[in-house]
Structure 1
Amino acid sequence: GRVRTTVINPAGQTETNDFDPGDVWYFRRGHPHMLECLGNEPTHFILIFDNGYFSEFGTFSITDWIGHAPKPLVAKNFSLPESSFDGFPREEVYFARGTIPPDEIPENLQGPRVSPPETHKFRMLAGAPHAVFKGGREWRIDSTRFPISTTVTGVILDLEPGALRELHWHPNADEWHYVIDGDLSVTMFGSHGRFRTEHLHPGDVGYIPQGYGHSIENVGSKPSRILIGFNTGIYEAIDLSAWIAGNPIDVLATNFNKPASLFDRFPRKDVFISPNE
């Protein structure tokens, strides 16, 4: 589906954008905003918050606030007669059904918009992938490409059947998964020999704590797609292959008690995605 958003910042600057499938928005904490379905078809989107203790239901709406404030107080606030607020909702209107919005974005009540310095919209899937590999591809946006996104990094990861997002970890963020398509095997490793494997399917959610080693493998017969969110605006990852490649060969030989010649066969840089070969 398609969505129209409006967001207002503390300086009174406002931005209204229309979103298509594959687009991303980011709203800063506490900035008022609205979401409006466009066209004749329903829309579906996934919301990611940078705090696991917060949810969509932790917010309040304009109708809820005005509905609970005393009418004389609201009338005084807007310099209007109390009768102006007769029939207003007395509680939150979470979803409001109106006419289909016009194709052209209407003017705000205040008149011409004063746009904020940073846009809230990024066309993630409209551009080329961040990286392409034999076994898959990745789209990634963090604050280096989407400056307003200071607390969230977003990734779309596609894996071909049998492909593996190699063993790795993130030193600066937790990782949250939502499986869009495909069947995945996700492993997680922590200190003191803790190792776990989970199988995720479309609609499932996974979570990897910061600093835990993990991998993602497409174990199905069809391509997989997974939405990944990190609670940081700067993406960081260390792949196991890069960790190995970054050490002197004699150190590797000593640590693993293997001949140094064995490590000549190892990759010289990070693998990232290993294809099904």
Structure 2
Amino acid sequence: MISFLSCLCSLYLATSVVGAPALSGFSSVASKSSVSAASSTQATAPSVTASAAEPSATVPFASTDPNAPVWGIDSGTPQPIRGSLGASVLGPNNLPLDQMSPDMLAPPTTDAGSVNNAKWPFALSHNRLQTGGWARQENIGVMPIATSLAGVNMRLEPGAIRELHWHSTSEWAYVLSGTTQVTAVNADGQNFLANVGPGDLWFFPPGIPHSLQATNESAEGSEFLLVFDDGAFSEDATFLLTDWLSHVPAEVLQKNFQASPDAFSHIPAKELYIFPGSPPPLDAVAPSSPQGTVTNPYSFALSKVNATQLSGGTVKIVDSTTFTISTTVAAAEVTVEPGAIRELHWHPTMDEWSFFLEGTARVTIFASQGNARTFDYQPGDIGFVPTAMGHYVENTGNTTLKYLEIFNTDRFQDISLNQWLALTPPELVKAHLQLSDETIASLSKTKPVVVGPN
């Protein structure tokens, strides 16, 4: 009877070994353990009490094969080939676009499923040319994924004016070059005037009338990025002073302003939008108002804020805690050194609208349910990551990467994957990822934000 039970046990254990799934990097260890257990069972008295199960993989391990871009803008031949996958292009192709998007033509093997296009170059936006400047925009019409924010890139020659106007949305601005003189009046009759230089911001809440004019501090005038807290925003829907007055009967204008019949005889017959003018003095002040000046400034000198130095770059965060009037837009100005990365993270309650200023970047967006896609960015490109989707921003060039993270919210927030794991019980992390004690101990309990080269 004892011999029969012993044979039965041995047969059961052997069957378990043969029938076990082969798992890369794990199967050999599991097999040796099972064989050892079987031998031990045969050498000792049989027992019907099972020992505690060893930790075991339930799915194959993820590949550790490299998945870097196959070529760069200035090197390599674009072909939809990665290792043994893909084949060359036999028909026509757009070489410049392929050079700028290696991870679209030859995506990393970690990409899967479907993620809407999260890249739009301003270079593909229709430009509106005016006497004195130009403007081009991005909204859901060209980038459907970007539902919560839209952008305009605008240029003014010295003295040129973006005419008096207002919007139904907020307007947040980052000055790219030169100095822009901005004016505004709020609902209480308080006025505002400021010169806003490179790297600085302005913000006008919905409905606040304002103007923008390039100074002659720079021979080129000024250029800036405008961001609006509505993905459907269009510059064509702006409320312009000249457009309005040209659609008001003349006798109504006379009555409203208590003016003579010819007082408004030279107003434009249609909108001006952008038009030339004389450069404003840099020491200009707002007209004296009985109500005083605004108590909450509409501009913010981000260029004078000290950046937080990190192992792989820097970050400046600006939201309503520092730029108090900016209650619907928050932002971070980020630099990433060559070989470094804006860490794996996500934003819990807001979409991210990005604008790339310098260098080249690579971003993989994880959209859950096995969906992930990688995009490549150059200066002048817009990126978008929907709420809560995991991502990183990697510097893929040899120069410093600089970009803006912009959000439709009053407070900047992000969740760091590194910090989350560091502040989770180690046993739980090990059960998920099979990390060593040494690796778990090295996790950061404070957000790395931008991580230097490994």
TM-score band (shorter)?
A: over 0.9
Could you tell me which of 236, 241, 244 is aligned with 1:65?
Answer: 244
Tell me the equivalent position of 2:253: 74
Give the aligned partner of residue 123 of structure 1. 301
Deviation at 1:12, TM superposition (A): 1.1
The number of residues matched between the two structures is: 275
* Most deviating of 159-168 and 264-273: 264-273
Shift of residue 21, structure 1, vs aligned partner: 0.9
DSSP 3-state at the match of 1:45: strand
SS in 1 for 2:228: coil
1:102 matches 2:281: yes
Normalised TM-score (structure 2): 0.58
Question: Which of 1 and 2 has greater Rg?
Answer: 2
Secondary structure at the aligned position of 2:224 is classed as: coil
Give distance in 1, aligned partners of 2:199 and 2:438: 47
* Aligned-partner residue type, residue 50 of structure 1: D
Measured in 1, the distance between the counterparts of 2:435 and 2:379 equals 41
CA distance in 1, matches of 2:312, 2:259: 63
- Which residue number in structure 1 is paired with residue 266 of structure 2? 87
Q: What is the TM-score when the length of structure 1 is the normalising length?
A: 0.94
Distance, in Å, in 2 between the alignment partners of 1:111 and 1:10 is 13
> Residues 179-229 of structure 1, C-alpha deviation per residue, up to 9 Å, x if partnerless?
111010011101101111100011111001111111000010111111221
Q: Is the partner of 1:210 in helix, strand or coil?
A: coil
Percent identity of the aligned residues?
34
- Root-mean-square deviation (CA, aligned residues, Å) is 1.6
Cα 1:231–1:98 change in 2 (3 A) is same
- Change beyond 3 A, Cα 1:111–1:120: closer
Provide the C-alpha distance between the structure 1 equivalents of 2:297 and 2:247, rounded to a whole number of angstroms.
33
Q: Measure, in 2, the Cα distance between the counterparts of 1:264 and 1:67.
A: 69
Q: Contact (CA 8 Å) 2:346, 2:415: kept in 1 or not?
A: yes
1:106-185 counterparts in 2 under 5 A? Answer: 106-108=285-287, 114-129=292-307, 131-185=308-362
Does the residue aligned with 1:228 lie in a helix, a strand or coil?
strand
Aligned counterparts of 1:69 and 1:34: Cα–Cα separation in 2: 21
Higher relative contact order (CA 8 A, sep 6+): 1
Specify the code of the residue in structure 2 equivalent to 1:149.
S
Amino acid across the alignment from 2:214: C
Unaligned regions of 5+ residues in structure 1, if any? none
- Residue of structure 1 aligned with 2:184, choices 4, 7, 14: 7
C-alpha offsets along residues 87-107 of structure 1, whole Å, 9 cap, x if unaligned? 210111101211121232155
Letter in 2 for 1:162: G
